[in-house]
Chain A
Amino acid sequence: MITAERKPFDEIYAMTEGHDKVLVAGCDTCVAVCLTGGEKEAEILAAELRIKAKQDGRDVQIEHTAAIRQCEWEYLDAIAAKVEEHPLVLSLACGIGIQSMAEKFAPRLVMPAVNTNMLGMPQEHAVWLERCGACGECVIGDTAGICPVVRCSKSLMNGPCGGSHDGKCEVTTPEKEDIDCAWALIWDRLKAQGREELMLVNRPPKDWSKSSSGGPRKMVREEAKPV
């Protein structure tokens, strides 16, 4: 799923400067699951903003709402009336949902209240790890189901590099936590699968033109298009 993290409060609050009617819009799909931007979180943010605004002596009307999925226009119909009452919308959806809202309600101001960060997996409750690089040409069949594009810090096709130590990557997270070396994981699992020979294949350079490096992507399902 797509995960996102709420922007720092001050950054969001600054967006409300000069506005007296603001709508906080949540999304009840991915960002709700990662506890960042569902209806519950939208209500909380709206309350936070009201409390801060009151302390600043500002007369701001801040409401909240949520769509089932902000990225699909059919679901925005249900919140359209409320959106149209507010000149500024702070969206807690992922970048896709925010852009979808910005497009549907253009030229109304729809601002991001979150930083969309990754295609991640919940490893355990409340912990998400990046898993997929959306590179457009999946190779994990050869790497024991582990993505070398986004789980290896250097996107190596023939890893590990010399910095792999004790199964950990030479890079640590900004919080100074260890990152598992993806290629150490790949090696271990290939061994468990009895497919070590895949580790010895000299994999060719990746075709990055299939990733976003090649330009924004588009997918069309001709057979599903209406007649």
Chain B
Amino acid sequence: MSATQYKAGSNLEKILSEGKFAVTGECGPPKSADGTVIEEKAKILKGFVDAVNITDNQTAVVRVCSMASGIQAQQNGLEAIMQMTCRDRNRLAMQADILGASVLGIKNILCLTGDHMSFGNHPEAKGVHDLDAINLIKMYKDMRDEKKLQCGDEMDVAPALYIGCAENPFGDPFEFRALRLKKKVEAGADFMQTQCIFNIPKFKKWMEEVRAIGLHKEIKILAGLTPLKGVGAAKYMKNFVPGMDVPQEIVDRMASVEKGPPAQAEGKKLAVEMIKEIAEIEGVAGVHLMAVEWEIAVPEIVEMAGLLPRPAVA
């Protein structure tokens, strides 16, 4: 395929365009000016994922910004998926940041609403929310395809972007979730990642609704998974993370195993089973492994799931 057929020509885009099953990972930047963290994580994940999400003040906790960490990841040979939330920046900053990111080689961008300030370490902050995620997707799409800023001003050089979004198949109202993805597709999203899935039957139901309106053909869907380190992690997800649906069987399964290495092994095993089951679902184009603060588990999981070697694309 020639470069002009791609929107941005990122590794992730090429793999998905060729219909290969994609694997993305996730990295949380450090909560300080520590330049070594991303380097370390990049070393762990390189070769095991096609691109890595760099979170943006996730759960409203301050960390090194996604752009800086994303650039650092790419400098260390790992393609980044930069994230942008609507909570922290207005439309000027969001455009300025994506132009800067694009200039410095970032191609993948995930457009998110952002967890509310009250969840994080600065609950007194003023939430920006100048735009919502759908406005943001459209704004970036128009920058790329129309060469125009949100106000209509024309740009000489458009940013080359592969635009992603997130969707929560378990959020409510349930019957609206596939329709909300449709809105994001219409706004211009190229790929999407789901929130981490533990309830596979419910996810399958959501995929049915997505396929019923043909969305799986219009957008590349990556299913989100989080390997569990232990029963504590399972319970935390179930009770404290917004929008999560963790079936009791999973909590029980993790509880039935001894803490420490045995639990971790079980967690990895469970993750591999889930990857294999999800890969069979029609319309799923890849998996998004969110092994937050457990990046070292990713290589083993990817290998056990039979996803190595990662495809090399031109």
Q: Which residues of B contact A165 (CB under 8 A)?
A: 171-172, 242-243
Interface residue ranges of B95-152 to A (CB < 8 Å): 113-116, 118-119, 127, 129-135, 138-139, 150
Which residues does chain B contribute within 8 Å of A199, judged by CB atoms? 176, 179
The interface centre, meaning the residue of B87, B129, B186 with most chain A CB atoms within 10 A of its CB, is B129
Write out the residue numbers on chain B whose beta carbons fall within 8 Å of the beta carbon of A203. Answer: 134-135
B150 touches A205 (CB 8 A): yes
A160's nearest neighbour on chain B, judged by CB, is B171
Given A157-B135, A202-B138, check contact A184 B116 (CB 8 Å).
Answer: no
Residue pair B132, A162 in contact (C-beta under 8 Å): no
- Check: B167 CB closer than 8 A to any chain A CB: yes
Chain B interface residue bracket vs A = 35 or more
Residues in A whose Cβ lies below 8 Å from that of B182: 200
* Interchain CA distance A164-B242 in the complex, whole Å: 8
B255 at the interface (CB under 8 A from A): no
Does A161 touch B at the CB level, under 8 Å? yes
Q: Does B250 contact A (CB under 8 A)?
A: no
Main secondary structure of the interface of A (DSSP, over half): loop
Q: Is the CB of B138 within 8 A of A154?
A: no
**A199–B183 CA distance with the chains assembled, in angstroms:** 9
Within 8 A of B (CB), among A160-187: 160-167, 170-172, 181, 184, 187
Could you say which residues of chain A place their CB within 8 Å of the CB of B138?
202
The chain B residue sitting closest to A184, CB to CB, is B173
> Is A154 touching B132 in the complex (CB atoms < 8 A)?
yes
Interface residues on A, range: 20 to 34
B7 CB, nearest partner CB in chain A, Å: 20
Most buried by B among A154, A166, A204: A154
Closest to A170 in B: B242
A171→B116 contact, CB < 8 A: yes
Indicate whether A164 sits within 8 Å of B173 (C-beta atoms), given known contacts A154-B116, A158-B132.
Answer: yes
Is B179 in contact with A164, judged by CB distance below 8 angstroms? no
CA distance in complex: A161, B119 (Å)? 15
Q: Is residue A120 within 8 Å, beta carbon to beta carbon, of the partner chain?
A: no
**Contact: B176 with A187, CB < 8 Å?**
yes
Indicate if the CB atoms of B116 and A158 lie closer than 8 Å. no
Contacts of B176 in A (CB 8 A): 160, 187, 199
Q: Are B187 and A181 in contact (CB under 8 A)?
A: no
In the complex, whether A208 has a CB less than 8 A from a CB of chain B is: yes
| CB of A123 to closest CB in B, whole Å | 22
Select which of A157, A167, A206 is within 8 A of B172 by beta carbon: A167
Contact (Cβ within 8 A) A162 B167: yes
> How many whole Å from A177's CB to the nearest CB in chain B?
13
